[in-house]
């Protein structure tokens, strides 16, 4: 598909308003959106002003007050239709994701498939928002808990998954009876505009105020800070850097609001002597190179037992040499560009620092120049041997750098994995059941995700997604993550005709 065809299929023109609440708003400066593939302009988005934000959040709150009364199974049916609408736009929307942030086309379409899957999950969930009944200590009394819609949920998303993360939050929030106000990354606003158009159409066809799925593209100083401080938004779900997450937690926490934070990941994959090295190598390559190393679950550290380190690194060098780098829209490409030249600069700085303190590049790491690599973000993925204790390894560089560190045993491997500030995803490759159980046990991995014989990247939607420590502690998508989007209420019903007090208290 040509770029013009992709944009047209997604309902986008050369210039589009960046705010939506049943009407399109955007009285601020135009934001120029460029593709990282060659740096050319894809379109312009008129950003929201503070006045636009106020109108959007007011409309979203009014829409919530009506939408919360819609029965949950009916809300689930609307989300099912949203999934069907996304299915019909999978190819075009996936290509738009590729154009805007640079991931290869199959990953762009995979991201849309993830949205579809989450909608399917949420549809079933709409009939399972269960409370509990509990025995009362007082005769003739009944205790129960129930769950009610929470309000307008603020959803802040990052560039690397410009549409899927919205769905993790929005599909669940909608079946829970909430409205959603989406603030997407200013690097990838076109994908958000396209998804919002799809959601608006589905809501309108079902007689629901489309402000239930609102959008606000704008500067952090005007829109972002207002959203964080707004008491009309009881929950802010934010995906992004640890630095951003600390600001979100600070401002929302000051007003005693809720946060759901999914932040940085400095993910390690441990390989023990009994591991299937070919399987491990495949997992490492996808985890470290997929999405050009720009997943929060990307494999950044390879912690390998010293007995098999040379054999595994040899396999990786061969595999890295076969990674096809090029146009992410073309068939057969395995790696496109980083999102920007600044991201490539950060990668080069990290490599320089690592090598200045004892690290050694084993493969790649250089920038790619020339007409085929315009845009500034083209690099070759890097394998870098790093001595234990190298400080730069503790930092998350959002780029395809794989730090290889050698250890004598599993105990040292787990300690090294856990000593970084982040705690999102982790993996171990071993055929030893005792090693696997140790890794999964209370003294094992301290991450929110712990895998055995598969990589750190590519989580399914059925499990709650998120991590510990500087990763923020939030959980999105599957399992019982829906509870974050509702308010819990404990109820006691007295049918006794008397008024006994709890704990045996007599007050007469």
How is residue 472 written in tokens?
């923020």
SS3 for 400-441 is CEEEEEEECCHHHHHHHHHCCCEECEEEEECCCHHHHHHHHC
The span from the CA of 170 to the CA of 155, in Å, is: 8
436-485: pLDDT as tens digits: 999 999 999 999 999 999 999 988 999 999 999 999 999 999 999 999 99
Annotate 405-420 with b (16+ C-beta within 10 A) or e (fewer).
Answer: bbbeebebbbebbbeb
Task: Check residue 468 and report its DSSP letter.
Answer: E
Cα gap 403→80, rounded to integer Å: 42
Place of tokens 């159980």: 437
Question: Which three-class secondary structure string do you get for 257-303?
Answer: CEEEEECCCCEEEEECCCCCHHHHHHHHHHHHHHHHHCCCCCEEEEE
* Inter-residue contact 35 to 329 (CB < 8 Å): no
Strands (E), 117-273: 133-134, 141-149, 152-156, 179-183, 213-216, 235-239, 258-262, 267-271
Quote the mean pLDDT of the chain: 97
Nearest CA to 455 out of 295, 310, 335 is that of 295
Angle at 423 between CA 243 and CA 263, to 5 degrees: 30
Beta-ladder partners of 325: 335
Sign of the CA dihedral with 10 first, then 13, 14, and 19 last:
negative
- pLDDT for res 143: 98
Rounded to the nearest 5°, which phi and psi values hold at 77?
-65, -35
Q: Any residues with CB less than 8 A from the CB of 340 and at least 6 apart, and which?
A: 36, 187, 376, 377
Sorted by sequence, the CB contacts under 8 Å of residue 180 that are 6+ apart come out as 60, 152, 153, 155, 166, 169, 170, 173, 174, 212, 213, 214
Burial pattern 115-133, b for ≥16 Cβ within 10 A else e, equals bbbbbbbbbebbeebeeee
The H-or-E segment that residue 174 falls in is helix 164-175
By DSSP bridging, strand 425-429 and strand 267-271 are parallel
Residue 393: C-alpha distances to residues 105, 266, 267, 272 (Å): 30, 8, 11, 20
- Asked if pLDDT for residue 491 goes beyond 80, the answer is yes
Report pLDDT for 129.
97
* Predicted confidence (pLDDT) at residue 225 exceeds the cutoff of 80: yes
Rounded-to-integer distance, Cα 115 and Cα 97, Å: 13
Per-residue pLDDT tens digits for 117-174: 999 999 999 999 999 999 999 999 999 999 999 999 999 999 999 999 999 999 999 9
Which pLDDT value is given to residue 508?
84
pLDDT at residue 1, as a whole number = 76
Q: Report pLDDT digits (tens) over 195-221.
A: 999 999 999 999 999 999 999 999 999
**What is the rounded CA–CA span in Å between residue 508 and residue 494?**
19
Q: What is the CA radius of gyration of the chain?
A: 24
Q: How many residues are given for the chain? A: 508
Residues serving a catalytic function are 262, 296
Q: What sections of 89-149 are H helices per DSSP? A: 90-101, 105-125
Mean pLDDT of 355-378: 95
**What mean pLDDT is predicted for residues 399-408?**
98
Secondary element (H or E) of residue 342: helix 341-356
CB 276 within 8 A of CB 429: yes
Distance CA 224, CA 242 (A): 16
User: Position of tokens 């071993």?
Assistant: 430
For residues 422 and 467, the answer to whether their CB atoms sit within 8 Å is yes
Residue whose pair of structure tokens reads 């401080």 in the numeric block = 229
Q: Is the pTM of this model over 0.85?
A: yes
d(CA 386, CA 351): 10
**% of the chain at pLDDT higher than 90:** 98
- Dump pLDDT digits (tens) for 246-291: 999 999 999 999 999 999 999 999 999 999 999 999 999 999 999 9
Give CA separation, 66 vs 147, 236, 488, in Å: 17, 21, 20
Return d(Cα 114, Cα 75) in angstroms, integer.
20
Report residue 452: phi and psi, to 5°: -120, 120
The C-alpha atoms of residue 379 and residue 466 are separated, in whole angstroms, by: 29
* C-alpha distance across the termini of the chain, in Å: 80
């Amino acid at each position: 598909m040509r770029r013009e065809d992709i944009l047209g299929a997604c309902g986008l023109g050369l210039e589009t308003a960046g705010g939506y609440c049943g009407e399109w708003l955007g009285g601020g400066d135009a934001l120029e959106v460029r593709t990282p593939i060659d740096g050319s302009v894809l379109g312009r988005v008129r950003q929201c002003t503070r006045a636009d934000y106020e109108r959007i959040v007011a409309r979203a709150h009014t829409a919530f007050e009506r939408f919360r009364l819609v029965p949950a199974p009916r809300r689930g049916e609307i989300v099912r239709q949203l999934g069907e609408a996304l299915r019909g736009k999978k190819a075009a929307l996936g290509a738009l994701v590729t154009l805007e942030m640079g991931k290869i086309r199959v990953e762009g379409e995979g991201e849309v498939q993830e949205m579809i899957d989450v909608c399917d999950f949420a549809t079933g969930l709409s009939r399972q928002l269960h409370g509990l009944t509990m025995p009362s200590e007082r005769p003739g009394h009944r205790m129960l808990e129930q769950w009610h819609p929470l309000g307008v949920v603020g959803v802040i998303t990052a560039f690397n998954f410009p549409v899927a993360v919205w769905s993790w939050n929005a599909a669940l929030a909608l079946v829970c009876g909430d409205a959603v106000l989406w603030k997407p990354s200013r690097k990838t606003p076109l994908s958000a505009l396209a998804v919002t158009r799809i959601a608006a159409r589905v809501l309108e066809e079902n007689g629901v105020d489309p402000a239930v799925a609102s959008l606000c593209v704008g500067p952090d100083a005007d829109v972002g800070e207002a959203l964080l401080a707004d008491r009309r938004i009881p929950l802010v779900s934010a995906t992004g850097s640890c630095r951003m997450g600390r600001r979100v937690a600070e401002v929302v926490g000051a007003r005693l609001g809720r946060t759901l934070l999914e932040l940085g990941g400095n993910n390690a994959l441990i390989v023990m002597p009994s591991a299937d090295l070919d399987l491990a190598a495949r997992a490492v390559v996808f985890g470290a190179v997929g999405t050009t190393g720009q997943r929060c679950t990307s494999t950044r550290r390879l912690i390998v037992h010293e007995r098999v380190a040379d054999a595994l690194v040899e396999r990786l060098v061969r595999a890295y040499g076969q990674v096809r780098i090029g146009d992410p829209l073309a068939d057969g490409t395995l790696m496109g560009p980083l999102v920007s030249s600044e991201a490539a600069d950060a990668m080069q700085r990290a490599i320089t620092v690592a090598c200045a303190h004892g690290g050694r590049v084993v493969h790649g790491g250089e920038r790619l120049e020339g007409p085929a690599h315009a845009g500034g973000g083209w690099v070759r993925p890097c394998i870098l041997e790093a001595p234990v204790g190298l400080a730069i390894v503790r930092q998350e560089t959002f780029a395809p750098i794989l730090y290889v560190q050698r250890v004598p045993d599993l105990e040292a491997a787990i300690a090294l994995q856990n000593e970084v500030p982040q705690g999102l995803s982790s993996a171990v490759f071993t055929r030893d059941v005792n090693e696997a159980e140790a890794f999964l046990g209370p003294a094992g991995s301290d991450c929110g995700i712990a895998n055995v014989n598969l990589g750190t990247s590519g989580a399914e939607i059925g499990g709650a997604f998120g991590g510990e420590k500087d990763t923020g502690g939030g959980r999105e998508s599957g399992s019982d993550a829906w509870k974050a989007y509702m308010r819990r209420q404990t109820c006691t019903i007295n049918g006794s005709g008397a008024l006994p007090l709890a704990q045996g208290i007599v007050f007469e």
